[in-house]
Amino acid sequence: MAGTGCNSEIGWERGSVKLLLIFIAMGVAAAGAMRSWHERNLYIEASLLSEAFKLTVTPKLRIEDYYSAKGFMPFDNAAVGLPPAQSLYGANVKRVAVGDGGSLVVDFDPEGGDRTMVFTPTVNAANGLLSWQCSSDSIDAAVLAKLELRCSHGDAPGAVEPKQGAALLTTDDVQAPSRREPESNPLSPKARQVQLAAHYEGLQRAARTCRVNRLEALLAAENDLATPELVDGTLLVSHVQQPQCRDTLIKHLDTKSSFLSARDARFSHVVAACDRTQAEAMLKRHAEIGPFQQSAGWSHFDRAVAVGCTEVVALLVRELGEQAELPKDVLVTVIQDTPPSALVAMTSTLLRAGADAQYRDANGETVLGLAIGLEYPVISKMLLDAGADINAVTANGSTPLIAAAKKGYSHLVQQLVVAGADLDLQDPLGRTALIAAVASNHSRVAEILVRSGADASLRDQNGVDALLLADGKDRRKLRQILLSARPDI
């Protein structure tokens, strides 16, 4: 009996182990089935997405072409030449609809679970090109994360808030033209460029065929053209051969502020480039262009002076005619702004045209004093030849002779002496031209002044005369020159 009980016990234990193993096996099988079911579900979703991408290739291209051509997004299938949404379907896709703002809404068949996917276009502000972003609130995030295209789980950016397990937009919604007004979409840079190119082509064609009415209509339609008088880099009116058509066109263009400002901007560019040929051609075609018209803060004349374009300045002077007067301060502008390499030719041109050599600026500085101060002795000589006042007191109370002596301009000093400049005028500190020459150690200038009769005994405010100054600086050559003028010493 005891043996029988033991065998029963052993049998029961073996049965328990078998049962446990069976349960474990069942659990493993169930887990495998669960995993297999999950992987199968992901595979199904991946296949859905694959079909969605294939079916949206053509609609995306149509939307991109539409945006490039018109500059704003379509709002339904018909706008981009696609069949109705229900006609775009596949094995798992129920429809593909173009929605507001150019978004593409893909609805899948309910049999596979109500799923929706949205492709949203985004515009690169720099080049106007489109890129696409996909999103879904009903497709597994793990599947979306594996896609090369940027896809996210959740609401589509810039689209209507998605409904869980349903289409974002109904067919009625996406086909309602009133949902999006084209005017509310800004033109893309690329579309704007295409639009302007077509506009300019129309202008050129109308100009060449002398269709004035067409020209006027085209010009009136574009008030913000950057350069409405230009077509392919040449003036629009140059494409008009018939005089009567050209006159009509110019008369019309002259009423448009955009044309006038662009015309002046173009002429300014020609002047800045020192293109005399183009400048002359524009002046012949546009008698209204004035040398002193402003463009970008400068007159055409001042711009030509600043770049040192003597040929254009001479052309503008000729346009002014004999009766017209140059600006009083023109020589000041030349001395301050013209490049040194063109300064002599520019000054000569303007002096021959009647520029005022006696002009004083707002600070009381004379043109001659300015030229000497900026160390342009040749220009100073030209001003003296043109009649500049040889004794005109400069802004700091000096004289041309004192300033020239201080700089050591011996030829200019000689010219001033010959012209009759007062040799002994003193500045506010009592210095004469001779004292200035000694102070700066210009023996040649001192010799010219002494031989011309300059008074060597005159003293400055500190009681120092030229000889005392020479002794103090131990300048023996200057001392000998001065002693020759003081036989009493």
Q: Where are the domains of the chain?
A: 49-174, 357-489
The answer to whether 442 and 476 are in contact (CB under 8 A) is: no
- Which residue in this structure is represented by tokens 């490049």? 339
The backbone torsions φ and ψ at residue 317, rounded to the nearest 5 degrees and listed phi first, read -60, -40
Q: Which residues of the chain have pLDDT under 50?
A: 1-4, 7-10, 12, 17, 28-38, 148, 153-186, 224
- Which residue in this structure is represented by tokens 């490039």? 68
The answer to whether 378 and 342 are in contact (CB under 8 A) is: no
Query: Going by C-beta distance under 8 Å and a sequence separation of 6 or more, which residues neighbour residue 380?
Result: 368, 371, 372, 400, 404, 409, 412
Amino acid (one-letter) located at 152: S
Helix (H), strand (E), coil (C) string for 364-403? CCEHHHHHHHCCCHHHHHHHHHCCCCCCCCCCCCCCHHHH
The answer to whether 109 and 161 are in contact (CB under 8 A) is: no
Specify the pLDDT at position 109: 78
* Bridge partner residues of 135 (DSSP): 118, 152
Structure tokens at 106: 């893909």
Strands 116-123 vs 298-299: parallel, antiparallel or unpaired: unpaired
The answer to whether 174 and 86 are in contact (CB under 8 A) is: no
Specify the pLDDT at position 419: 92
The answer to whether 242 and 210 are in contact (CB under 8 A) is: yes
The answer to whether 308 and 339 are in contact (CB under 8 A) is: yes
Q: Considering only the top CATH level, what class is 357-489?
A: mainly alpha
Of 274, 276, 268, the closest CA to residue 292 belongs to 268
Of 43, 172, 163, 53, the closest CA to residue 106 belongs to 53
Of 142, 172, 175, 125, the closest CA to residue 39 belongs to 142
Specify the pLDDT at position 29: 47
- Helix axes 443-451 and 400-407, enclosed angle (nearest 10): 140
Specify the pLDDT at position 402: 95
- Which residue in this structure is represented by tokens 């043996």? 3
- Which residue in this structure is represented by tokens 């102070």? 439
pTM above 0.75, yes or no: no
Of 60, 65, 30, the closest CA to residue 120 belongs to 60
Please state the CATH superfamily assignment of the domain spanning residues 49-174 in this structure: Glycoprotein, Type 4 Pilin (3.30.700.10)
Tell me the CA distances in angstroms from 73 to 39, 176, 457, one per residue in order.
39, 14, 92
Distance from C-alpha of 266 to C-alpha of 144, rounded to nearest angstrom? 55
Specify the pLDDT at position 185: 47
Specify the pLDDT at position 145: 64
Of 272, 333, 326, the closest CA to residue 304 belongs to 272
Tell me the CA distances in angstroms from 267 to 32, 46, 295, 319, one per residue in order.
82, 63, 9, 14
DSSP codes of every residue in 27-65: HHHHHHHHHHHHHHHHHHHHHHHHHHHHHTHHHHHHHHH
Of 455, 444, 368, the closest CA to residue 405 belongs to 444
Distance from C-alpha of 470 to C-alpha of 476, rounded to nearest angstrom? 7
- Which residue in this structure is represented by tokens 């893309």? 188
Q: Dihedral of the CA atoms 369, 372, 377, 379 (nearest 10)? A: -40
